[in-house]
A and B are shown apart, each in its own frame.
Chain A
Amino acid sequence: MKILIVDDSKAMRMIVSRVLRQAGYGTAEFVEGSNGVEGLAAARAGGVDLVLSDWNMPEMNGIEFLKTLRAEGNTVRFGFVTSESTADMKEQAVLAGVTFFITKPFTAEAFAEVLGAIAA
């Protein structure tokens, strides 16, 4: 399984990959991007099974990243991992084709629950 983690914070990318390993995804391959532009390039390169993206990022934010992916016909599972998730943000994300939301701070259990549900 190849998981793309997109966040402008290097610390947060490290934490997300650590928590994913704790959640049972230790054998996954992790690739990273620090904004939507880098995320898009990694997704276009192919083989990505799951995208975990922050919302607020420079260059290209998370919702623009998701909309561009879907406009290109990419149906990869896409989750937002954000410090806030307002009703408006969720509505925008659902319309754009998001798979799930996880709010920071998160736990390994939260990831295991959400990822287990979408894999089922």
Chain B
Amino acid sequence: MPASFPVPIQEDIRDLLMDLLGRGTAVDKVTPLVLEEDEAGVIAEYRTDEGAVGAVCLVDAEFAIRTAGALTLVPPAAVADTLRKGDVSEALENFREIVNILAQLLNSPRTSHLRLSGVHVIPGDLPEGVSSLVAQPQFRRDFAVQIEGYGSGRISLLVN
């Protein structure tokens, strides 16, 4: 049986976000993130070069909007407005950059190469391999992230 893909630990997530956002970031382990049916979030999927889903990154709307805002120094008040509207789509371009760079934490010399292959706003339809991995991952880690000046959100990494 092939080795499972690596699941980053909290220090990996903290260091990557601190370097990427250029500001203080605190990361804590939390219980698994489960979004309610009507709760907004984003799922990034990572596939091997052969097209198999190897990992997904699930975040709540707070994480997506706050990290996307911090990435390009959007004023925190404008980020708060976007959060009140609950419109995750406005944050997708920047968020895509974040989860694209996150792919490096999901790769290892012992596992197939993974790259970001799609970003999906939820609630919404998901590709079959993605929904099954979200429902039944082999391993997962869940974190609460606090970004200096922007606030908190939650992120989960799930792998096959």
Contact = CB atoms under 8 A, between A and B. Distances in A.
Interface of A: 9-12, 14-15, 18-19, 83-84, 86, 103-107
Given A104-B101, A105-B101, A9 B19 contact: no
A15 B72 contact: yes
A105 B19 contact: yes
Contacts of B144: none
Interface residues of B, number: 18
Contact of A83 (B73, B104, B113): B104
Interface in B28-51: none
B103 interface: yes
Interface in B81-121: 93-94, 96-97, 100-101, 103-104, 107, 113, 115
A26 B22 CA distance: 17
B103 A84 contact: yes
B93 A84 contact: no
Contacts of A106: 19
B20 interface: yes
Contacts of A9: 93, 96-97
Nearest to A85: B104
Given A14-B72, A106-B19, 15 more contacts: A9-B96, A9-B97, A11-B94, A11-B97, A15-B71, A18-B73, A83-B104, A84-B103, A84-B104, A84-B115, A86-B113, A104-B20, A105-B101, A107-B19, A107-B22
